Chains A and B, each alone.
Chain A
């Protein structure tokens, strides 16, 4: 039995449809209930619906053998897992954004508001730029408007949220998409099943 951690929400739905299209369906997932575990015993798959940011934790700790998670989470938390496939779903960019009239003053410490503390640190360390990080958990776009930060680092998909809040993208530095990850121990003991799934997905992505 292969335990698959799926992120709850839009991305999870897309990923499930992709998996179902290559033969790993589990009809009960469409039932309107609050269950978080769905199983198709015949096909040997069990889906676990978890919070997107928790997928990597489930996989790293072997509560799930494989999982589908955004590259942003992998960059931020660097879990000790195998990253086997880019599913090319949920595509977006990790970007630096600021108020539309923003001009950087390189003579002072840059204040960066973000959910992705480690990504921000690494990005600016690469430029040797001194920064102050302000960790926020949501509505990051507010930070430059209210003067809380000079710039934000966040995921940008269409760019609408950025524009509507009178911000502009200053720099896009990472391409993000959904990745299929596997627990290292599971990969040893369930290699055939995992490889089979990866191979069939590789054809359709």
Chain B
């Protein structure tokens, strides 16, 4: 058996395939240091998935952290501006707390960013690459997207306090209509406003159907413009024949201190959580004092481990058993011959317990001989 791409673990195969894909679209590999100044994360805690970061003091006294995130480092170090665009992609390990085990976990991430001038074509390119990335994992995948300006446009009308908005956003993210009503009443929203909120929570699924539902509740120009943008993007995605793999979901609301505009999440059947997340984060770029827009996504390769793969029937195709006093040169030649025939071969003096093999050979002074009737 030759090493074929199908025999790789899903995360290995996807990494290889996607490197080729991203490079074909002009993205350049960005290799970064494992450490980053802790102050970057202390100032941007809300951007991170969890609050805790592994920190240590370097020999020169600086407080460093093992990277919990890649995008912040790219945004901090980029030289891109509206005239000069950068398109980095990365495959990196990040270190985050696991909520379940209350321990730190190493997470393998792959992703890409476009920093500079982000126009509609760029958004479409990134969305289509996100869809291609999901498709590389499995054909049964869906990219759910939203335009945050639609929801934010609605809140423009409401003049709510930050705490009320936080509560309402949390309910929207959980599609929790009951609590949403409570939070809305606490914030003294009118019945008509509550009705719109509850509709937003439930609006997801087929792109065109959801888009027309959303059009019915758009009450100002920001909301209408957001839907117009979605509609234009969808037209382009349909031309690329990936319209069916894209859904709308207005409950995707990323942190508004960092994200704006188009946001998205990718799901693969059989994997419990979203495996891909991204969006436009021009607000963050502005916060960092950069004159550039940005969009990107990350793929959580660790999640791919929960995909079921068929384990090969055998660990090796052939075992060559040999005894004492043999010609090692001839043995090595016999092993090479079997390997060249497309087998995986192990030469052993004694069969290792639990080793699954297809054929057993015995090597002696007379040469190689297959032992039949055993497995």
Contacts of B175 in A (CB 8 A): 82-84, 187
Near B by CB (< 8 A), chain A positions 113-157 give none
Near B by CB (< 8 A), chain A positions 137-192 give 183-185, 187-189, 191
The answer on a CB contact under 8 Å between A185 and B273 is yes
The answer on a CB contact under 8 Å between A191 and B204 is yes
Contacts of B247 in A (CB 8 A): 188
The answer on a CB contact under 8 Å between A188 and B142 is yes
The answer on a CB contact under 8 Å between B204 and A189 is no
| Cβ contact of B178, chosen from A81, A85, A184, A189, cutoff 8 A | A85
Near A by CB (< 8 A), chain B positions 121-145 give 140, 142, 144
| Interface flag for B42 (CB, 8 Å) | no
| Interface flag for A39 (CB, 8 Å) | no
The answer on a CB contact under 8 Å between B267 and A184 is yes
The answer on a CB contact under 8 Å between A189 and B174 is no
The answer on a CB contact under 8 Å between A185 and B271 is yes
| Cβ contact of B273, chosen from A83, A184, A189, A191, cutoff 8 A | A184
| Interface flag for A72 (CB, 8 Å) | no
| Interface flag for B179 (CB, 8 Å) | yes
Contacts of B174 in A (CB 8 A): 81-83
The answer on a CB contact under 8 Å between B144 and A189 is no
In the assembled complex, the Cα of A81 lies from the Cα of B173 at a distance in Å of 9
User: What's the minimum C-beta distance from B202 to chain A, rounded to whole angstroms?
Assistant: 8
Contacts of B274 in A (CB 8 A): 184-185
Contacts of B61 in A (CB 8 A): none
In the assembled complex, the Cα of A187 lies from the Cα of B205 at a distance in Å of 10
Q: Given the known A-B contacts A184-B267, A188-B247, A189-B142, are A62 and B272 also in contact in the complex, defined by CB atoms under 8 Å? A: yes
In the assembled complex, the Cα of A188 lies from the Cα of B207 at a distance in Å of 13
The answer on a CB contact under 8 Å between A60 and B142 is no
The answer on a CB contact under 8 Å between B144 and A188 is yes
| Interface flag for B176 (CB, 8 Å) | yes
Contacts of A183 in B (CB 8 A): 272
Closest-by-CB residue of A relative to B176 is: A83
| Interface flag for B269 (CB, 8 Å) | yes
Contacts of B204 in A (CB 8 A): 191
| Interface flag for A86 (CB, 8 Å) | yes
Q: Given the known A-B contacts A185-B267, A188-B247, A191-B205, are A86 and B273 also in contact in the complex, defined by CB atoms under 8 Å? A: no
The answer on a CB contact under 8 Å between A60 and B178 is no
In the assembled complex, the Cα of A187 lies from the Cα of B273 at a distance in Å of 11
Closest-by-CB residue of A relative to B171 is: A83
The answer on a CB contact under 8 Å between B179 and A83 is yes
In the assembled complex, the Cα of A133 lies from the Cα of B204 at a distance in Å of 41
| Interface flag for A80 (CB, 8 Å) | yes
Closest-by-CB residue of B relative to A88 is: B178
Closest-by-CB residue of B relative to A183 is: B272
The answer on a CB contact under 8 Å between B140 and A189 is yes
The answer on a CB contact under 8 Å between A185 and B269 is yes
| Interface flag for A51 (CB, 8 Å) | no
Contacts of B267 in A (CB 8 A): 184-185, 188-189
Closest-by-CB residue of B relative to A60 is: B272
The answer on a CB contact under 8 Å between A86 and B178 is yes
| Interface flag for A61 (CB, 8 Å) | yes
Near A by CB (< 8 A), chain B positions 186-241 give 204-205
User: What's the minimum C-beta distance from A132 to chain B, rounded to whole angstroms?
Assistant: 20
Contacts of A184 in B (CB 8 A): 267, 272-274
Contacts of A85 in B (CB 8 A): 177-178
Near B by CB (< 8 A), chain A positions 72-94 give 80-86
Closest-by-CB residue of A relative to B303 is: A185
Near A by CB (< 8 A), chain B positions 144-203 give 144, 174-179
User: What's the minimum C-beta distance from A122 to chain B, rounded to whole angstroms?
Assistant: 13
The answer on a CB contact under 8 Å between A80 and B273 is yes
Contacts of B176 in A (CB 8 A): 82-84
Q: Given the known A-B contacts A188-B142, A191-B205, are A61 and B179 also in contact in the complex, defined by CB atoms under 8 Å? A: no
User: What's the minimum C-beta distance from B168 to chain A, rounded to whole angstroms?
Assistant: 14
In the assembled complex, the Cα of A61 lies from the Cα of B273 at a distance in Å of 8
Near A by CB (< 8 A), chain B positions 245-274 give 247, 267-274
Closest-by-CB residue of A relative to B269 is: A189
Contacts of B179 in A (CB 8 A): 83
In the assembled complex, the Cα of A80 lies from the Cα of B50 at a distance in Å of 13
In the assembled complex, the Cα of A45 lies from the Cα of B268 at a distance in Å of 22
In the assembled complex, the Cα of A205 lies from the Cα of B144 at a distance in Å of 30
User: What's the minimum C-beta distance from B86 to chain A, rounded to whole angstroms?
Assistant: 32
Contacts of B177 in A (CB 8 A): 84-85
Closest-by-CB residue of A relative to B205 is: A191
Besides A62-B271, A86-B178, A184-B274, 16 new A-B residue pairs in contact (Cβ under 8 A), listed by A number: A62-B270, A62-B272, A80-B273, A81-B174, A82-B176, A83-B175, A84-B177, A85-B177, A85-B178, A184-B267, A185-B267, A185-B271, A185-B274, A188-B144, A188-B267, A189-B140
* In the complex, the 7 A-B pairs of residues with the closest C-beta atoms, listed nearest first: A62-B272, A83-B176, A86-B178, A82-B175, A188-B267, A83-B174, A185-B267
For this complex, 17 residue pairs linking A to B, each with C-beta atoms less than 8 Å apart, are A60-B272, A62-B270, A62-B271, A82-B174, A82-B176, A83-B176, A83-B178, A83-B179, A84-B175, A85-B178, A184-B272, A184-B273, A185-B268, A185-B271, A185-B272, A185-B274, A191-B204
